[in-house]
Amino acid sequence: MLPVPVAQPGPSPMWDDCRVSEPTFAELLAMPGVVEQCDLRGSFGFMAYHGGALEETTDVIAGQAACRCGASYYGVLQPESLQLHFPSITVTPDESPALRSFLDHVDTVVTIHGFHRITMRTSILLGGRNRELAAHIARHLRVALPDYEAVDALKQIPVELQGLHARNPVNVPRHAGVQIELPPRARGVGSFWADHNGDTLVPHTRALIDALVAAVDEWTTAGTTRP
């Protein structure tokens, strides 16, 4: 085993040489196999920038929901060979013209993420700064997915999953938005769906998309915007 460098007071070239810097968002987008998607439609938007093989099915959910309700869509898909998780606050429009155009176009957004906690296998977490929209979507999810708990009370959501940072893309548009964290089961991932035909979305995911479309259609028709 190689010796581990020990930091010493003052400059330490050996220590600096051992540092591994995380790629910037622009560098990630330029990596082989990474696909950036942007479709500008309505002023309501859906995002899934941890899509592809990273947080499976999140891009499918966001893309299908956006298409069905005439919303805009932005996604970043990673291949199986990469799967590099990067913090939401590093997803910056300064490093992506497509993201810039998306965030300039929309005034409200829903971001779709995936998470896995043993104690929260059937919990759907609704963070982000637009708390009125979070409560509205949660009501639709509770009807459509009775086997899940739609959690929109911030005090019940782990701090790191609340999505409240000002630089989180979900909070950049004028009316901010909702960060939805989905457990594997809701995305059709894991042993629960071992017997399902992989060519189609599982029933829970289809019901989830239906609920999101209904919630956004009702929200935009009513003209509700207040964060």
Place of tokens 């739609």: 150
pLDDT in tens, the chain (227 residues): 434 333 344 443 333 444 457 899 999 999 999 999 999 999 999 999 999 999 999 999 999 999 999 999 999 999 999 999 999 999 999 999 999 999 999 999 999 999 999 999 999 999 999 999 999 999 999 999 999 999 999 999 999 999 999 999 999 999 999 999 999 999 999 999 998 887 799 999 999 999 999 999 999 998 765 55
Which CATH number describes the domain made up of 22-222? 3.40.630.100
- The dihedral through the CA atoms of 17, 18, 22, 28 has a sign that is positive
How far apart (Å, rounded) are the C-alpha atoms in residues 169 and 177?
A: 9
Helical ranges in the chain per DSSP H? 13-17, 25-29, 58-68, 97-105, 131-144, 203-222
Domain ranges of the chain: 22-222
Q: Which amino acid is at 214?
A: A
